[in-house]
Structure 1
Amino acid sequence: MKHMMKHMLMLNMFRNCLIFLCLVLPLKISAIEVENLYSAKVAVASQSNGDRNQALKNALRAILVKVGGNDIAHPLITQAINNYSMYVTQYQYIRSNNKVLLNVSFNEAKINQLFKASDLPIWGQLRPQVMVWLVEEDGFKRKVISATSNSFLPRVIDDFSQLRGLPLVMPIMDLTDLNALTLTDVWGRFSKPVAQASARYMAEAVVVIRVSNSSLVASQNNLLNCPQCRVNSLAVDWSLMTDAQNEHVQMFSEQYLGNNVDELLTAALSDITDIIYQQYALSTTHSNEFEIDVANIASLVDLIAVSDFFAELSAVQSVQLISAKGTNRRFKLSLIGSQQALLASLKLSEQLNRYVDPLAAPEGLEQVPVFYWGKK
């Protein structure tokens, strides 16, 4: 009897510890630190001076889109593109798939200064991973396109990911995926099964993209009474969950009509990226101060590591330690941009985990957010 009671007590303690950990250590969100953010590979017609200079200019345009998050129309940006040589650090010719490319690297500090001088937002290297469920409808047949499908569509998605610096992942469609959801779940864009099936990929956002040459096209041609719409042979649409691991709130697109699937898919991905970008872009126009508590700082080494962590964030201009109590430290951060952008970036961190007290006041009334420091 004593042995049984002791066993029950240990089980209760273990369960309580699990509950505590679930409250203190929320589910990890997968974020990707984008590499080569300030370099680009662009096609070049030849190695002549004229073609090389045009390729360098195109490469800078691509970098400005990748760093800025979207296409930018600004006088200083236009001037910079015309003076592209000021920003180039090195370039080299490479061959890929029987094509000649120019691999160009640019000066990170000068690019960032350009955005600051233009009062334009920038996107840091830490970016959310996006799960892409792509369904292709060909006549009466539908199939989910996996990362290894015998289709050119994954290449289109991968090329876009490289171009815009947005980490995109496609399902592997193994037995786990096949048992987690059905084709109807994906085509019907049912948020709950899609979100549950996406959980194993630990993505911050989940998107379902539908590509059709039949039912979606027929639907549009019946709805829209215009000759121009009837000549379109393809339709693409999407639904997006920007916080798929919490509330499964979706937004839906209008349909993209046309005849070129590359262009339609790229247009859809561009609009999706713009929406995601708005949550993480860092405005350079305003600076403000923000206080944050970090717990579990047990040594001077930890304190230095946390300070360095904040100092390296794109959103943070300066860091100041303002108080200490036990293993808790309070920091004052001078921000570039909004508090919302900072918290969105911290949500992607593997080293800081936000503690949310279920008995505390609503989030809007919370004075100082509390995070737990955890070493990698």
Structure 2
Amino acid sequence: MRHLALLVLGLVTLPAMALTNVDLYRSEVVLDQAAKNADAQARIEGMKEVIVRASGDRNAVTNEVVKKALNQSSQYLAQLSYGQMGEAQTLRMGFSAPHIRSLLSQAQLPVWPAARANILVWLVEEQTDRNIIWEHSPSAVLEQLKGQADKRGLPLTVPVGDFDDITGVAVSDLWGGFVQPVGEASQRYLVDAVLVVKAQGNTLRWTLYDQKPATIGVTRQAPLSGSNNGEDAAVKMVNQLSDYYAKKNAVVVANESSEAIKVRFTELSDAVGFFTLENKLKKLSSVASIDILKIQGNQVTFNVHLLSSPEEFKQEVLRAGPIKQLESVVETPVVAIPEPTEPTLEVTPESAQGAVESNAQPTDESTPLESANTPTAPLVPAEQILVYEWQGKPYVYVAPAIEGEIVITPDVTENEAEPAVQ
């Protein structure tokens, strides 16, 4: 009994942390049995869903780096199995969290953390009468709302509809926008925000109180509101709410490629060749991004961030042409060694007397003082650099013909010159 009391006391004293951890990296897609490569298409669709959920950005799948990665979706998979959704077969996928986060950073897309605000949804539908839709109520709007919220990774809580809910708030309170009773009825749920939705046919009007229920009607924080129309009105509403929270909480992390290699190209004699080569590298499906490290003479060294293995990159580079592979080189980065500094000693009568006495005794050539001030070079590992020769033809400028230009030949005097073009 004493242990039970301690447990209850611990639960009471714990802070009410309502943030919900969303499983960002799992998806389930119905297989199109009529498609030629049903599994491959399902993997791509599942990866798109994960990228949108993890980034909070609906347009993330149009990013050039992401589009390359989608063609290599199997490299991002961690788990794969088949399931059933009604009579349709599905493909269940679990993607590697580190690989997806690395991809988002390579594409310079935001990352919406998995700990997300939990929203309590009070849904009222007007049909013959106005009714509150509870957690297990049959409602097409509620099902659509839940399905889209799951895709976007937006945690929702729907009231269970027990005695406390039924007696705690009335339909007229929700429909009329009476804040005080809505806030009081919502306090029994550990949520971060409260959403009131009024459905009339294909029209949804909603109000979001982005605050703890206990502060609704107490503080002067203004709610957010909107309306959506059409058969997919609930989908539109969830997208707007997800975009709002993603913009509020998502961050763009530093570019951390899962793997990068250094590549040097020689025989780049003009700017046209350099830009042609740079564009070829950026278009390779194995390349996420490139950084220019050094340009010296007719050579340029890149740091290439990879989406796949170095072997695949090497094959793609040679296929891109006109490029010839040379022998790789190993270089050790040059590190500047600071010059030795002379120690500064403060001379006092006592130290001067000690110095005179020490001069009378033989000393070791290397004293602790000298070794402490002798700079040492830091250990820097050697780096392998892939080397290629650019074999593109040098750019030759051809001046365009100018209408009315006078052409003079050795057989024609200046006075006899005729316009070449009439």
- TM-score scaled by length of structure 1: 0.59
Q: Following the alignment from structure 2 to structure 1, what is the Cα–Cα distance between the partners of residues 57 and 179?
A: 27
Deviations, residues 127-165 of structure 1 (Å, cap 9, x unaligned): 221111111111x41111000112233332332232122
1:67 aligns with 2:54: yes
Structure ranking higher on relative contact order (CA contacts 8 Å, 6+ apart): 1
1:124 aligns with 2:93: no
1:46 aligns with 2:15: no
Structure 1: runs of 5+ lacking an equivalent: 1-21, 214-233, 287-376
State whether residues 187 and 214 of structure 2, in contact with CA within 8 Å, keep that contact through their aligned partners in structure 1.
no
Which has the larger share of helix? 1
Detail structure 1 runs of 4+ shifted over 6 Å in the superposition.
none
For residues 344-359 of structure 1, the aligned pairs below 5 Å read none
Taking a change above 3 Å as real, the CA distance of residues 246 and 196 of structure 1, as seen in their structure-2 partners, is closer
2:223 matched residue in structure 1: 251
1:28 matched residue in structure 2: 16
1:237 aligns with 2:205: yes
State whether residues 207 and 226 of structure 2, in contact with CA within 8 Å, keep that contact through their aligned partners in structure 1.
no
State whether residues 205 and 243 of structure 1, in contact with CA within 8 Å, keep that contact through their aligned partners in structure 2.
yes
For residues 137-156 of structure 1, the aligned pairs below 5 Å read 137-138=126-127, 140-156=128-144
Deviations, residues 279-298 of structure 1 (Å, cap 9, x unaligned): 32123159xxxxxxxxxxxx
Q: Following the alignment from structure 1 to structure 2, what is the Cα–Cα distance between the partners of residues 143 and 110?
A: 46
SS of 2:183 mapped into structure 1: helix
Q: Following the alignment from structure 1 to structure 2, what is the Cα–Cα distance between the partners of residues 153 and 99?
A: 23
- Deviation of 1:246 after TM superposition, in Å, equals 5.4
State whether residues 236 and 257 of structure 1, in contact with CA within 8 Å, keep that contact through their aligned partners in structure 2.
yes
For residues 278-289 of structure 1, the aligned pairs below 5 Å read 278-285=247-254
Taking a change above 3 Å as real, the CA distance of residues 112 and 55 of structure 1, as seen in their structure-2 partners, is same
- Deviation of 1:54 after TM superposition, in Å, equals 0.9
Structure 2: runs of 5+ lacking an equivalent: 1-11, 256-422
For residues 1-376 of structure 1, the aligned pairs below 5 Å read 28-35=16-23, 37-46=24-33, 50-71=37-58, 72=60, 73-138=62-127, 140-213=128-201, 234-245=202-213, 247-248=215-216, 249-258=221-230, 260=231, 263-285=232-254
- Deviation of 1:191 after TM superposition, in Å, equals 2.4
- Deviation of 1:244 after TM superposition, in Å, equals 2.8
Q: Which has the larger radius of gyration?
A: 2
Deviations, residues 87-144 of structure 1 (Å, cap 9, x unaligned): 1233222112222111011111110001111222112222221111111111x41111
State whether residues 239 and 250 of structure 1, in contact with CA within 8 Å, keep that contact through their aligned partners in structure 2.
no
Q: Following the alignment from structure 1 to structure 2, what is the Cα–Cα distance between the partners of residues 131 and 97?
A: 29
Q: Following the alignment from structure 2 to structure 1, what is the Cα–Cα distance between the partners of residues 66 and 179?
A: 40
1:69 alignment partner AA: G
Q: Following the alignment from structure 2 to structure 1, what is the Cα–Cα distance between the partners of residues 17 and 179?
A: 18
Q: Number of aligned pairs?
A: 239
The root-mean-square deviation of aligned C-alpha atoms, in Å, is 2.4
SS of 1:30 mapped into structure 2: coil
- Deviation of 1:243 after TM superposition, in Å, equals 1.1
State whether residues 81 and 93 of structure 2, in contact with CA within 8 Å, keep that contact through their aligned partners in structure 1.
yes
1:273 alignment partner AA: S
- Deviation of 1:43 after TM superposition, in Å, equals 1.1
SS of 1:42 mapped into structure 2: strand
Of 65-74 and 110-119, deviating more is 65-74
State whether residues 240 and 250 of structure 1, in contact with CA within 8 Å, keep that contact through their aligned partners in structure 2.
no
Deviations, residues 148-205 of structure 1 (Å, cap 9, x unaligned): 1122333323322321222111011222112221101111232222122111111001
SS of 1:58 mapped into structure 2: helix
- TM-score scaled by length of structure 2: 0.53
2:165 alignment partner AA: D
Deviations, residues 312-360 of structure 1 (Å, cap 9, x unaligned): xxxxxxxxxxxxxxxxxxxxxxxxxxxxxxxxxxxxxxxxxxxxxxxxx
Q: Following the alignment from structure 2 to structure 1, what is the Cα–Cα distance between the partners of residues 243 and 171?
A: 28
Taking a change above 3 Å as real, the CA distance of residues 250 and 148 of structure 1, as seen in their structure-2 partners, is farther
Q: Following the alignment from structure 2 to structure 1, what is the Cα–Cα distance between the partners of residues 14 and 210?
A: 17
State whether residues 77 and 96 of structure 2, in contact with CA within 8 Å, keep that contact through their aligned partners in structure 1.
yes
